[in-house]
Amino acid sequence: MVSPTLLFFFLLAVQLLQPFHAHSGPAEWPLSPPSLFHHRHHHTHRASVRDYGATGDGMTYDTRAIQAAVDAVAARGGGRVRFPPGNYLTATILLRSGVVLEVEKGARVLGGTKQEDYLPEQPRWYVVLAEDAEDVGITGGGEINGQGGAFVQRRDKRKNVMVSWNATGACEGDECRPRLVGFVGCRNVRLWDIRLIEPAYWCLHLVRSENIWIEDVTILGDFDSPNNDGIDVEDSNNTVITRCHIDTGDDAICPKSSTGPVRNLTATDCWIRTKSSAIKLGSASTFDFTGFRFDNITIVDSHRGLGLQIRDGGNVSDITFSNINIRTRYYDPSWWGRAEPIYVTTCPRDPTSRVGSISDLRFINISAVSENGVFLSGSRGGLVSNLKFLNVNLTFQRWTQYSDGLFDYRPGCQEMVHHRTAGLMMEHISGIEMENVRMKWHNNSLKGWNNPIEFRPSTVNKLSFCDWSSEEI
Ligand SMILES: *[C@@H]1O[C@H](CO)[C@@H](O)[C@H](O)[C@H]1NC(C)=O
Ligand SMILES: *[C@@H]1O[C@H](CO)[C@@H](O)[C@H](O)[C@H]1NC(C)=O
Ligand SMILES: *[C@@H]1O[C@H](CO)[C@@H](O)[C@H](O)[C@H]1NC(C)=O
Ligand SMILES: *[C@@H]1O[C@H](CO)[C@@H](O)[C@H](O)[C@H]1NC(C)=O
Ligand SMILES: *[C@@H]1O[C@H](CO)[C@@H](O)[C@H](O)[C@H]1NC(C)=O
Ligand SMILES: *[C@@H]1O[C@H](CO)[C@@H](O)[C@H](O)[C@H]1NC(C)=O
Ligand SMILES: *[C@@H]1O[C@H](CO)[C@@H](O)[C@H](O)[C@H]1NC(C)=O
Ligand SMILES: *[C@@H]1O[C@H](CO)[C@@H](O)[C@H](O)[C@H]1NC(C)=O
């Protein structure tokens, strides 16, 4: 007998596989939803948090009922924990192996806004947290909401000032507040058809995990709040992100490496708006990044489009960006980013940092309209090598009133350096191949710009241009 749940997974999987194969390009690792969940967890048990006493009234803490439902389903070998329509205020929920949270349409899980709602250790501050678990997921069409508005100490159109729980000594600085959803040390993770709303800090954090499938996830942060990242893929392997909609203040899809490498990440069919980088590798970059594919992504009114911010000695290789539409503009300079559609940098963060390198990057079928040029900057000992641009349209135009004329090396390095604006700036590069690349300049926007292409002398080698043009329009 095939259980209805298994059948459902199988049908869903077949639907997913088609678009995935249609544009993911080069060889993929063996990863698809059916292989994600281990046969050991049958996913047949179902429980409603209401049956465990949850009120769903949005005012009473339902933590105990929710956790009891999760633990009961886990104890029976796995299944679904349902949240019927309602508002479920909760302290941290610990997700267990084999359990999928099904937050139904009309249901909202509301994260607590008090420090006592979270575990004592700051690295475990999440509204929903899975640790060392396997075959875990979240779905259902509803919403997990971090009530980020309650963490805004002072609203500021430039950048909000956020509450910090640093007074207790749990952490330092101003990045001291809870994330929304975390999978730490997990295997076989699926999030699909779920809305992740208003995180107080980062939204979805995948840490030291592998085999991750994220599909049809909507992330809405606060466009004015700092560190409101979308998806942070940290020290994790084999991740697929597809059909996501991310509209948030800080970096939208952000692979980072702190304790191990990041291997095999594919992101396709996404829409992104952010006041920082739409896609950003780094800046935490102690280990390597390899085998990434970004395809069919629309980036709207963001501060930076495709960014590599390598600062800590990790090496980056084999990364492809294809079929990407980018629109980048200036925002307040307190945010990292200077309207660059493409930004590739390897400078060491500070004088004690190691230098990483970047090689084998491909930009294929890219169309960008931007207020600043492309910035490609290796560093001494941290070369950027073997870049290919194929079918790339770059249109330069100014439409905001923010001032320009700065190269942005942040974080660390030389910080901001005054300079006139070029269409393409290069330093410490070995090997660029450009084929069918068109630069277009709006004639009413040329103030402050100088050359289409600019080099730092004697640091650029092996250039090949084929069918390249630059014209005023
Ligand atoms: C990454 O994908 C490749 C195939 O594309 C596979 O050979 C390799 O094992 C994967 N890496 C990891 C760490 O799973
Ligand atoms: C604590 O957070 C506040 C507010 O974000 C910040 O201004 C302050 O510098 C932080 N203090 C410490 C000791 O980190
Ligand atoms: C990712 O793959 C690399 C290379 O195989 C391995 O060293 C690392 O431990 C893997 N990370 C995880 C979280 O599985
Ligand atoms: C690209 O992604 C969008 C969603 O952002 C989707 O609607 C569209 O069908 C995708 N295009 C292709 C060619 O698959
Ligand atoms: C990056 O590459 C350099 C040169 O091959 C090497 O010395 C360094 O160890 C690599 N970094 C990492 C994190 O493996
Ligand atoms: C780039 O676009 C062309 C024309 O639309 C298409 O034939 C080609 O497959 C695309 N390349 C990639 C890598 O998607
Ligand atoms: C670049 O512009 C040309 C001419 O307008 C157009 O034919 C081509 O499809 C564009 N390429 C991309 C990748 O948008
Ligand atoms: C810009 O180009 C348009 C169309 O060619 C022309 O009519 C206009 O006078 C130009 N404007 C400037 C400021 O050169």
| Whether the Cβ atoms of residue 139 and residue 105 lie closer than 8 Å to each other | no
Give the distance (Å) from ligand 1 centre to CA of residue 18: 21
CA contacts within 13 A on the Cβ side of 40 = 10
Q: Which of 257, 291, 445, 287 is nearest to 369 (CA)?
A: 445
Which residue's CA is minimally distant from atom 1 of ligand 6?
Answer: 365
Give the distance (Å) from ligand 2 centre to CA of residue 168: 11
CA contacts within 13 A on the Cβ side of 198 = 16
**Which residues are CB-contacts of 139 (< 8 A; sequence separation ≥ 6)?**
100, 101, 102, 103, 190, 191, 192, 193, 194
pTM of this prediction? 0.93
Q: How many residues can be counted in the chain? A: 473
Angle at CA of residue 320, ends 36 and 215, nearest 5°: 35
Give the distance (Å) from ligand 6 centre to CA of residue 352: 43
Give the distance (Å) from ligand 7 centre to CA of residue 322: 13
What is the number of the ligand 7 atom nearest to the C-alpha of 365?
13
Handedness of CA 123, 125, 126, 131 (dihedral sign): positive
| Whether the Cβ atoms of residue 359 and residue 386 lie closer than 8 Å to each other | yes
Q: Which residues of 214-250 are buried (b: 16+ CB within 10 A; e: fewer)?
A: bbbbbbbbbbbbbbbbbbbbbbbbbbbbbbbbbbbbb
| Whether the Cβ atoms of residue 203 and residue 241 lie closer than 8 Å to each other | no
Asked: is 4-17+31-472 a CATH 2.160.20.10 domain? The reply is: yes
Which residue's CA is minimally distant from atom 4 of ligand 8?
Answer: 473
Ligand nearest to the CA of 391: 7
Which residue's CA is minimally distant from atom 12 of ligand 5?
Answer: 314
What is the number of the ligand 4 atom nearest to the C-alpha of 270?
5
Helix (H, G, I), strand (E, B) or coil at 314: coil
Ligand nearest to the CA of 397: 8
CA distances, 226 to each of 129, 165, 275, 455 (Å): 22, 15, 9, 33
Query: CA–CA separation, 288 vs 365, rounded Å?
Result: 26
pLDDT tens-place string over residues 402-420: 999 999 999 999 999 999 8
Query: For the chain, which residues score pLDDT lower than 70?
Result: 1-43
* Residue 30: predicted pLDDT: 40
Which residue's CA is minimally distant from atom 13 of ligand 3?
Answer: 208
351 cis-preceded (ω within 30 degrees of 0): no
Ordered by start, the domain boundaries in the chain are: 4-17+31-472
Q: Which of 142, 140, 114, 141 is nearest to 127 (CA)?
A: 114
